[in-house]
Homo-oligomer: A and B are copies of this chain.
């Protein structure tokens, strides 16, 4: 059995506009690089080689907390050293904490001969999400682990469904402002009008059907959120302009990535995805907010093991 493993743990987009808390997809880029090594000692050591000054004590570290949950159930744990080169900026809305949590347990599972299945790994990784945001959600962890577009039908007990999807190009803009997941949750109404809930579930059903049929027009029409986006988008300067102009540039649709502040747009082809990126850059240059953009694709695989 190998003594160490090196992986890419991808960024993810949760919610996919109308699928709050249930839908997510994995991106080809950006991703975190993680190396997990067996050591001669005992216990778990965490090292970050990135700039983000994240806590290194395992129980306070997102990857560490997930790994401790894994090891607790695994039993006879060897000493482990986890080195994280985080490239998905924390707080971007691109599943940075999920990449840490899911990456750590995926790496451990591979290194130790696959004692657990994907549902177990999701369960362990949710302990990391709890450290990050106080909530054990799985909508970033799941696509990060298994790739593609995923549905969390239910969380108790966990019921995960992979959804077929056509080729999708994804443009992301991350305006460099801070939106805390916990704040983004707090501003949501606890009750929603039934009429809006019905609209929302029509769109969710349409999005699932559109993805599975490979019907780009239906995907585009279904990317509408009448419940969460109207509230959360207020926290993101430029949101309405981005949405409007990117759709004019040919994007199928899009919205807030996770709880923001990143915004994503889906396109049928690379050329459109690049035109969408140009719109995003223009808007944030005009408003004067620093920003980072990505033009990438749907990642059908999730985790990647980097061979030596």
Q: Is the CB of A154 within 8 A of B199?
A: yes
A198 within 8 A of B: yes
Give this chain's copy count: 2
Shortest CB distance A186–B (Å): 12
| Complex: A227 Cα to B194 Cα, angstroms | 9
- CB-CB nearest in chain B for A20: B198
A159 engages B191 (CB within 8 Å): no
Known: A190-B193, A190-B194. A154 touches B212 (CB 8 A): no
CB contact list, A1-30 vs B, under 8 A: 18-23
Number of residues of chain A lying within 8 A (CB) of chain B: 40
Give CA–CA (A151, B159) in the complex, Å: 23
Q: Which single member of B19, B21, B191 contacts A193 (CB below 8 Å)? A: B191
Give the residue name and chain of the B residue nearest to A190 (CB). B194
Question: Which residues of A are in contact with B by a Cβ distance under 8 Å?
Answer: 18-23, 151-154, 159, 161, 163, 188-195, 197-206, 208-210, 212-213, 218, 221-222, 227
Q: CB-CB < 8 A to A19: which residues of B?
A: 201, 205
Considering the complex, give the chain B residue whose CB is closest to the CB of A151: B205
Taken together as a complex, chains A and B put the C-alpha atoms of A198 and B189 apart, in Å, by 13
Q: Considering only CB atoms, which chain B residue lies closest to A153 in the complex?
A: B206
Give chain B nearest CB distance to A232 CB in angstroms.
Answer: 13
A194 touches B201 (CB 8 A): no
What separation, in Å, do the CA atoms of A163 and B207 have in the docked complex? 12
Contact at B202–A152, with CB atoms within 8 Å?
A: yes
- Contact B202–A151 (Cβ < 8 Å): yes
Q: Provided the pairs A193-B191, A197-B200 are in contact, do residues A209 and B161 lie with their beta carbons within 8 angstroms?
A: yes
Q: Which B residues touch A200, using CB under 8 A?
A: 197, 201
Q: What is the bound-complex CA distance between A22 and B291, given in angstroms?
A: 40
Q: Which of B18, B209, B222 has a CB less than 8 Å from the CB of A163?
A: B209
Query: In the complex, what residue of chain B is closest to A189 when comparing beta carbons?
Result: B194
